[in-house]
Amino acid sequence: MFFLPLFDDNPTKSRPLVSWFVIFACILVYLFQSGLSAREDYAFVVLYGVIPARLFSQFDVLTIISSMFLHGGFMHLGSNMLYLWIFGDNVEDAMGKGRFIVFYLCCGAAAALTQALIDPSSTVPLIGASGGIAGILGAYIMLYPRATIKVFMWIIIFVRLLNVPAWLVLGFWIGGQFMAAPAALSSQAGVAYFAHIGGFIAGMVLVGLFKRPQITLFAPAKEKTWQVARPHVLRGDIKRRYVLEKTGNSGSVPGFKRRRKGPWD
């Protein structure tokens, strides 16, 4: 089984400029890295990545920030930016841009410290925006656990688009981190699962301090979950979602043909 979140049903009141900047900056740094030789890229990662042994011996805390813009490959970058694109805008909207920046950096620092404390003598660089984004996911599950996430699901020969509650999508993700973390203890490189766990928990804890006073936790769902559609309806679904967000009109959308209700509706 393969599933991939595509977008959520939460409209925002402001443009997520901070999230867009982080995405742009990470892509820009990755393009720079792609132009380096293997030796130059390794030296770049060692210089700006978080190395636990150096962090605790030299208090090199600035690398915690710089490491959040580095990535080890296209899939590493792509998965991080996809989750930031889907979930970052709502968390930024709930906090405001200034507090969101501080929140994001705090979660990234918590993630890096969690991973570094697992092996303080390690000389393997830690890089990636995963820790800060994990914090965003932790905040999202506290703010909008019942929001519906449009998920692309592929089971053998069956391909469907499914509305899944956020608590299940993000719970499945963090559950996978906990399951994979013990095996990572014996490895010297790879995915920093403990960083993801540390960032996620930090996000859950800190969201109450950083959200706007008028924003409540555990917001209700705006759409029905567990609705199933074939992939060819995705274009019309995106068009309807765009019109609803811009106009607030729940009427019909030109060019959108409603499908007949099925047993999942």
| Structural domain boundaries in the chain | 2-229, 231-265
Residue with tokens 């509706």: 265
Residue 169 pLDDT more than 60? yes
Residue 53 pLDDT more than 70? yes
Residue 185 pLDDT: 72
pTM higher than 0.75 for the full model? yes
Residue 4 pLDDT: 87
* CB contact at 8 A, 95 and 103: yes
* CB contact at 8 A, 81 and 27: yes
Question: Please, which residues have CB within 8 angstroms of residue 152's CB and are 6 or more apart in sequence?
Answer: 3, 4, 5, 6, 159, 161, 231
How far CA 107 is from CA of 68, 100, 192, in Å, comes to 11, 10, 14
Residue 186 pLDDT: 65
- Kindly report which listed range (188-192, 193-197, 206-210, 236-240) carries the lowest average pLDDT score: 236-240
Residue 254 pLDDT more than 60? no
3-state secondary structure of 167: helix
| Rounded distance between C-alpha atoms, residue 134 and residue 191, angstroms | 13
Confidence tier at 157 by pLDDT (50, 70, 90):
confident
What number of other Cβ atoms are within 10 A of residue 43's Cβ? 12
CATH number of 2-229: 1.20.1540.10
Confidence tier at 255 by pLDDT (50, 70, 90):
very low
81-115 burial code (b ≥16 CB/10 A, e <16): bbbbbbbbbbbbbbbbeebbeebbebbbbbbbbbb
- Mean pLDDT of the 59-73 span: 94
- Mean pLDDT of the 124-139 span: 96
| Rounded distance between C-alpha atoms, residue 90 and residue 87, angstroms | 6
Residue 161 pLDDT more than 90? no
pLDDT per position as a tens digit, 207-232: 999 999 999 999 887 766 666 666 55
